[in-house]
Amino acid sequence: MESSAKEDAQPKPRLIVRLGRLLASHHILFSALCCSAGIIALLFLPALAKNTYLSENALIPGSANPLFSTEDVAEANKFIKGIEAAAGESRDGMGMPKFIVQQMKELGAEVCYHEFLPHSKHFHPLKFFTSMTNDLAIHPNGTYTNSGTNTIGIIRAPRGDGKEAIVLVTPYNSQRVKENELLSLALGFSVFSLLSRAEWLSKDIVWLSADSQFGEYTAVSAWLSQYHNPTFVAGVTNGPDGIAEKAETTDFKRAGTMAAALIFKVGETRNYGDRDSVTMYAEASNGQMPNLDLLNVVHYLAVHRQGFRVNIERISSLVTSAWLRVIAEVIQTVGSLLRKINPDWKLDIAAPDYVEGTANLASSIYNQALGVPTGSHGAFRDYQVDAVSLEFSPTFHLRNENAKSSFLVRGGRLIEGVVRSVNNLLEKFHQSFFLYLLTAPSKFISVGVYMIPFALLVVPLPIVAAALADGGKTEGKSMNDHNMKGSADILQVDGGAWKWLQSARVLLVIQIWAVIVSLLPYYISQIADGTPIQSAVIWVVLSIIVLIILYAMLGSPYSAGVEWKLLKATMITSISIGLGLMSIINFATAQLGSLIVIPMCLFSRPVKARLGMNFLPRTVLLASNIFLAIFGFPPVILLVMKGLSKGTWTVDIGDFWVSMEFLWEWSSATYLYIFLVHLPCWLLCIHVLVHPCRQAGSKVKWE
């Protein structure tokens, strides 16, 4: 709307008058056009993806030939044997950290332990706005018996000044360590030992072997919060129980500003015989992505130097779906047609590529929209550190020694190469994109492109709102246009300007209700430790009660006789504001939400509205209204999504509670979106639907 404000005021007289009136008069046609165009553009997105490129010249990946050699592999194997022994002989789970520290000390690195406690379920959906201060810090209290122990080793760059650091993370479970975790630890250790001898280092190297017994994210985020905003509490300085270490291993060590972080782990052995593959996970909280250059470096080195196969997550059900294939065919034909028309439009994309890209894109959008990090790299992104996690999935049996050694060599060289590139970097990552969607490991859609469908979807909203508000007012005016001559009450045509205040009040009431509803789970989770179903029921009941109470206090929407057009205009304006905001916070959420909300808003009109159309279209309109209104309700959306994903159509209210709990624990802005934007909009739609069209009465009230 602000932009429209600017364009309003530009001194371009006639054109704007024409356009304005044109749009206002044909707003229905216009909005239909825009929405359909938006959806079509959305379908075209995979075809519009561009190949990634390295935009930062400083990181010249693969320019130096790697030093990681077979003796490092031998060291890794020695490490595996040692740590297996250590893990075997120690019961309390402290054996492995001690062993790792021992090894790192022998490399001449600075070492320290970091104890942390699993943080309980916090309800902080607002953490996004109260921009991360200490609320991640964990205050140790005596209640917890067992605490995780991260092991940190720091290599000081020989000639560096220690202002910056590169972080390597290998998560492992200190309680029940599995073989692939041992392998990843060994990989990390061998790279670490190589780097401890490297003379080209200009940034310090931090190797964090994260104790993932409470989940790797917990471990890494605990370490990061201790790193960035530590809490000084007495008794922190005593070392992990069971070992009497010297002071230098217990006090927390730091190494400058983090330039980048690389989380790598070796996954289970999958499809034998194929090439070893690396899966990149990049989505952090609220759909933030690391700088594209980091992904590019990893991808380049993995594919062109070490011969890995690089994947990103995909929704595999889409790959086999028939309708998607149909769409792909259509798109391909259209693209080729356009290509014939103008060879510069490279829109034609082979159908399998399209399907592939769509599957990847869908998972990318889904992960971003969920707003929940896909791994421990999310914790880094909260501190403006670009991080990516790599999951190596070997294609051999872990007992197969020479396959393992070759795998170690390649993995080590990959990590070494990435570290080298980041080490070359003088400035922090800023050249390339932060806002993008991935359709393939080497194909991306930048913000400039994927904003187009969304913009096309949102554009009708202000215009329809304007048209509706105008309509509401013209009717109000037309009443007293005839006695305009009778100058006794020229001053009385003033209701028109402020009429919308009533509908704004309705909006306000509903927003207050939404805020209360979104805050309710906090108290519910405080008091009632019941099953999800119970708490969900409590939630629903409470919210309905609150709604009734609010109406009783502040007046129900129909008491003030607000016209439904104004109500709809208000709703549409509010939803456009909400969508705009959400598109900035987390684009994917807004994109998905707009697909649901915008038709719902545009279609909604009162059932009782006497509109001069004959039966059939009216029933169609009515049906679509009710359909959309039903499917606009968040739990229904969730149910449908679950059904589509895993085909179980069991209605369970508990699921809703569980998923919402999941969202707010990760302080995802999607939670806020659902309850502060989507839910009020849906309620307003219902209001518009059941609106008793007593315009005349309301008019009387107004005169």
Partner 1 sequence: MAAAAVGFRLVLVLFGGDLHLSSRPEVSTPLTSLRRLAEGYWLKQASMSPYSGSMYHGSPLLLSVLGPLTSKRSGGHHAHIYCSLVFVAVDFIAAMLIRLTGRTLQIARGKSLKSLDLAKSVNDPVNASAGDTASLIYLWNPWTIITCVGSCTSPIENLMVVVMIYGACSRLAPLAAFGYVMATHLSLYPAILILPVTLLLGYGPDTPPAKVFLQKGSSASKVDISDIGKSTSQRGFGQISWKPVLHFMLWVFIWSCYVLVLNSIILNKAGGLQEMFEKTYGFILTVKDLSPNIGVLWYFFAEVFDFFRSFFLIVFNMNIIFMVLPLAIRLRHRPCFLAFVYTAIVGMLKSYPSAGDSALYLGLLGLFANELAEMQFTFFLFFGYIGVSLLSPVMHNLWIWRGTGNANFYFATGLAYTCLQTVLVVETVSSMIKHDRKLRLLIRT
Partner 2 sequence: MAPARRLLALSLLLLLLAAAAPAPSAAAEEFTEELLLRPLPDRKALAHFHFRSSTPAPARHHHLFPKAISHLVQKFHISELELSFTQGRWNYETWGGHDPLSTNTKPPGVELWAVFDLPSSEIDATWKNLTHALSGLFCASVNFLESSTAFSAPRWGFKSNEGNLRYGALPREAVCTENLTPWLKLLPCRDKAGIASLLYRPSIYKGYYHSQKLKLTTSKTGGIVLDQSLTVVLQPNTASGKQLHSADGKPQPSWSLEHLFNRKLSGKCLVSRSSRIFVEIEKGILAESGPEASWSNEFFELSTAPDRVLNELDHLDVQSSSLYEYDLGNYNDDEPLDVGITWKLPLIWSCSPAPYYARRFLMGSGNERGSIALSFLSTDLHKQLGGSSNDCSIKAVVLQVFPWYVKVFYHSLQIFIDGSSKAISEVLEMIHVTPSEDKLSPGTLEMLLRFPCGMQSATLILDFDKGFLHIDEYPPDANQGFDIPSALVSFPEFNSSRRYPETDPMFVSPLLENFKEENVVKSYTEVLLVPLTTPDFSMPYNVITFTCTVLALYFGSLLNALRRRIGEEESKLKKAASRPALIPMLIARLRGQKADPSNSESSPVSPIGLKLLLKVAFVAVVAVAFHYLSNS
Q: Which residues, numbered 291-350, are part of the site for partner 2 (CB under 8 A)? A: 340-343
585 binds partner 1 (CB under 8 A): yes
DSSP assignment of 137-187: -----TT-S--EEEEEEEEPPSS--SSEEEEEE--B-SSS--HHHHHHHHH
Q: How is the beta sheet containing 436-440 ordered, strand by strand?
A: 50-51, 443-446, 436-440
DSSP assignment of 521-550: HHHHHHH----HHHHHHHHHHHHHHHHHHH
**Total number of residues shown for the chain:** 703
Give CA–CA dist 380/165, Å, rounded: 13
Q: Give the range of 3-11, 254-262, 596-604, 645-653 binding partner 1 by CB under 8 A.
A: 3-11
Give CA–CA dist 216/210, Å, rounded: 7
Q: Under rule CB under 8 A, how many of the chain's residues touch partner 1?
A: 43
124 binds partner 2 (CB under 8 A): no
- What six digits make up the tokens of 465? 């709102």
The binder of 26, among partner 2, partner 1, none, by C-beta within 5 to 8 A per type, is: partner 2
The binder of 573, among partner 2, partner 1, none, by C-beta within 5 to 8 A per type, is: partner 1
630 binds partner 1 (CB under 8 A): no
Give CA–CA dist 542/528, Å, rounded: 13
- Binding partner 1 by CB under 8 A: which of 129, 272, 323, 615? 129
6 binds partner 1 (CB under 8 A): yes
Site for partner 2 in 161-220 (CB under 8 A): 161-164, 196-197, 199
The binder of 488, among partner 2, partner 1, none, by C-beta within 5 to 8 A per type, is: partner 1
- Binding partner 2 by CB under 8 A: which of 2, 3, 11, 498? 11
Strand partners, 266: 392
Whether 423 contacts 64, CB under 8 Å? no
Beta strand pairing call for 148-155 and 204-209? antiparallel
Q: How far is the CB of 383 from partner 1 (least distance, A)?
A: 10
Mutual angle of helices 564-585 and 460-481, in 10-degree steps:
160
481 binds partner 1 (CB under 8 A): no
24 binds partner 2 (CB under 8 A): yes
Cβ neighbours around 320 below 10 Å, total: 10
Site for partner 2 in 132-161 (CB under 8 A): 132-133, 156, 158-161
- Binding partner 1 by CB under 8 A: which of 150, 288, 439, 442? 288
Q: How far is the CB of 608 from partner 1 (least distance, A)?
A: 25
Whether 259 contacts 158, CB under 8 Å? no
Give CA–CA dist 53/436, Å, rounded: 13
* Angle formed at CA 608 by CA 602 and CA 609, multiple of 5 degrees: 55
384 binds partner 1 (CB under 8 A): yes
DSSP 55: -
Give CA–CA dist 682/575, Å, rounded: 10
Q: Give the range of 80-88, 218-226, 493-501, 693-701 binding partner 1 by CB under 8 A.
A: 493-501
495 binds partner 1 (CB under 8 A): yes
Q: Give the range of 16-24, 620-628, 670-678, 683-691 binding partner 2 by CB under 8 A.
A: 16-24
Q: Which helix (H) or strand (E) holds 208?
A: strand 204-209
Could you give the 3-state DSSP secondary structure of residue 184? helix
Longest CA pairwise span in the chain (Å)? 101
92 binds partner 1 (CB under 8 A): no
DSSP 58: S
199 binds partner 1 (CB under 8 A): no
The binder of 434, among partner 2, partner 1, none, by C-beta within 5 to 8 A per type, is: partner 1
The binder of 487, among partner 2, partner 1, none, by C-beta within 5 to 8 A per type, is: partner 1
- Binding partner 2 by CB under 8 A: which of 322, 426, 488, 552? 426
What residue ranges bind partner 1 (CB under 8 A)?
Answer: 1-3, 5-6, 8-9, 128-133, 135, 288, 381, 384, 434-435, 466, 469, 487-498, 500, 504, 569, 573-574, 577, 580-581, 584-585
